[in-house]
Amino acid sequence: MSGLESAALYLQDAYLRDSPATVLGHTAEGGVVLDQSVFYPTGGGQPGDSGQISWDGKTLDIATAVKGAGSEIVLVPAAPEALPDVGVKLHQSLDWDRRHRHMRVHTALHLLSVVLALPVTGGQIAEHKGRLDFLMPDPLEDREAVELALNRLVDLDLPVTQAWISEDELAAQPELVKTMSVAPPRGRGKIRLVAIGEGSSRVDLQPCGGTHVARTAEIGAVRLGKVESKGKQNRRVNLHLV
């Protein structure tokens, strides 16, 4: 099975918790492909969403979601159980609390890349914490100042918005890409940009396919965790939701 198209509802509205859908197909590994998905698939350092699908009085727990062939979004059941047949109309719902924490952490990491204006060599998002790896040969001198600056940006309650540009436009603005290890997805004609702040108050603009909160104050207070050396040039900065 290949070439099925799942509309990514989470890109249209990151706050959409549930939605009807129709089963388009199954994968050989026992996954379910829907025509539209509120489930974010694992990618860009952000874990796939968990939740449930329900149909005809039956419920199936979804452990995660992953990317399939092309634009397929594959829902992975938590246990090997009977799947809804192709063509069945069902209802999908997220584990919202978990997703929302991912959104808070993800936006906080974008702000961390503002405070530490260094090339990013990697990153990972978890439910209550996240981390960015930076090209940072020298130790972090004042972690308290970094944490204070980060929380000040959170408290500004800046809007978080999205826009789309062409691949050619991105190629003409390479400075938008902060992450050295992961290139923005190409081949679909357009790239999604996530902005924090507007006009003269904009503090960040970068390609991103993940889910984010609508305003920075929704992140809540954050604290820096360990700053770890990862080789001669790289340091890992951990961040926690308070």
Per cent of the chain over pLDDT 90 is 82
171: number of Cβ within 10 Å: 12
Segments of the chain scoring below 70 in pLDDT: 1-3, 180-189
SS3 state at 219: helix
**Alpha-carbon span 98 to 40, nearest angstrom:** 12
DSSP string across 172-193: T-GGG--BSSSPPP-SSSEEEE
Q: Which long-range contacts (CB under 8 A, 24 or more apart) does 176-180 make?
A: 176/205, 176/206, 176/207, 177/206, 177/207, 178/113, 178/119, 178/120, 178/206, 179/120, 179/121, 179/122, 179/123, 179/206, 180/119, 180/120, 180/121, 180/135
The model's pTM is 0.92
Q: What is the pLDDT of residue 114?
A: 96
Q: Which secondary structure element, helix H or strand E, spans residue 109, and what is its range?
A: helix 96-115
Q: How far apart are the first and last CA of the chain?
A: 44
Neighbouring residues of 16: CB distance < 8 A, sequence distance ≥ 6: 9, 10, 38
The residues facing 93 across adjacent strands are: 18, 52
Q: What is the pLDDT of residue 1?
A: 41
Q: What is the pLDDT of residue 170?
A: 79
Task: Name the pairing type of β-strands 36-37 and 7-8.
Answer: parallel
The residues facing 135 across adjacent strands are: 234
Length of the chain: 242
Domains along the chain with CATH numbers = 7-94 (2.40.30.130), 99-241 (3.30.980.10)
Q: What is the pLDDT of residue 182?
A: 57
Q: What is the pLDDT of residue 165?
A: 86
